[in-house]
Amino acid sequence: MTVRTTALPEERALLDLLPPAAPLSWVRRGEGLVAWGTAARLDLPAESERSGVWRFTAAAEWLESLFAGITVDDEVRRPGSGPVVFGSFTFDGRDAGSTLVLPRVVVGRRGGRTWLTVVGEEDAPLAAAPPPRPVGALRWLPGTVGEDAWTSTVARAVERIRDTGLAKVVLARDVVAEAAHPIDVRTPLARLAADYPDCYVYSVAGLTGATPELLLRRAGDRLESLVLAGTAPRGATGREDAALAEALLASAKDVEEHAYAVESLREALGPFCAELRAPRRPELLRLANVQHLATPVHATLAPGTATLRVLAALHPTAAVGGTPTRTAMEVIGELEGMRRDRYAGPVGWIDAHGNGEWGIALRCAQIDGARARLFAGAGIVGDSDPRAELAETTAKFRAMRAALTD
């Protein structure tokens, strides 16, 4: 297999280049990667343990074999050039569906420079694509667990936290949208990119969304991560917005939830890092629909550290699982009442040198034909109020609901 990367004098927006069939995306503020076509693909079966890492190990072995068999001509030589694989992993190891895709065509853009990567021979790699189709009328259906049942589940989780050593557990729920015709994934992608420019707008095998949470970015031995935990809505006025932000920063419940997430990341990254830096206090990350407590983390990886090994160690973070991790995962399996599939699992890309960007698949939907399954979750601690947690998930649904609504 041959791969060639060349500089590209292309000024069109990356998402405008995508054809309608199975688009791949990782874009933030107009930069990143878009891709299409399939040169190679790996779909992994379920493993035996909920917290297992076999899918990451199997993916790493497949990547090593794949990249070893590729002849590369790369005149750009930067992270994201040469052969690039897009991937997304299930939240629970016992779910099948973790997917890796080596696309036939990739267009990348970073720092004002654009490049084109082609696998094999493509006659017209940048052929004009038809414009995205409107979604049309939608029929909204209840998810796996109804709202009243979900709030009861949250109340049971709070009792479990108060009666045991569990500190935090994240509970998710879903809703379903049905259209009259197959949904053109490019339509919600474009809307998400416009409405949430500070998020990573992604699509891999139909899992489509805009995540604010960067699990890891690797360039050489440098690694970055962004911890998000603790959420409040945005205000209708500047004064109301500032008051909500102040309340979030002062909230003992949210600050506690955030501290668990930061400590979880520190413990996971520690064995792989020669150096790790994180501020003591969180800052605010403001998005169009919500605002989060956020802590940026910077680290230097030890020599020889494999990217997917770090990814396996980081997942699941306290922000999407809970604390302590194993206990939280058991409670999720017992109480949540649905399969998350690839929601809240790692999603992103990796190149042949181990460089890449991986986020947590949040604010997303699994789009299959005319059906979209939307997901949202909330962190439950001892002081959680079930109705307030329901409202938080409703606010998180808004990103994908708006992206799907004409």
Q: What are the backbone dihedrals phi and psi of residue 317, each rounded to the nearest 5 degrees, phi first?
A: -75, 165
The candidate with the shortest Cα–Cα distance to 209, out of 297, 88, 296, is 88
The candidate with the shortest Cα–Cα distance to 363, out of 374, 348, 373, is 374
Active site residue 253: no
- List 47, 213, 256, 336, catalytic entry: 213
Nearby residues of 27 by Cβ (< 8 Å), 6 or more positions away: 14, 15, 33, 34, 193, 200, 201, 202
Q: How far apart are CA 7 and CA 15, in angstroms?
A: 18
What distances in angstroms separate CA 113 from CA 27, 200, 217, one per listed residue? 14, 19, 19
Q: Residue with structure tokens 């403001």?
A: 286
Residue 198, SS3 per DSSP: coil
Return the number of other C-beta atoms located less than 10 Å from residue 362's C-beta.
24
Residue 100, SS3 per DSSP: strand
| DSSP state for residue 164 in the 8-state scheme | S
Q: How far apart are CA 373 and CA 175, in angstroms?
A: 6
Question: Residue 173, exposed/middle/buried by CB under 10 A (0-12, 13-18, 19+)?
Answer: buried
Return the number of other C-beta atoms located less than 10 Å from residue 220's C-beta.
11
- Copy the structure tokens of residue 22: 């199975």
Question: Residue 248, exposed/middle/buried by CB under 10 A (0-12, 13-18, 19+)?
Answer: buried
Secondary-structure percent of the chain, ordered helix, strand, coil, rounded to 5: 30, 35, 35
Q: Residue with structure tokens 């070893």?
A: 68
**Alpha helix ranges (H) inside 125-277:** 147-163, 186-195, 238-250, 252-269
Q: In this structure, are residues 117 and 81 in contact, taking their beta carbons and an 8 Å threshold?
A: yes
Q: How far apart are CA 102 and CA 39, in angstroms?
A: 6
Q: In this structure, are residues 372 and 222 in contact, taking their beta carbons and an 8 Å threshold?
A: no
- List 168, 256, 257, 396, catalytic entry: 168
Question: What amino acid positions are annotated as catalytic residues?
Answer: 168, 213
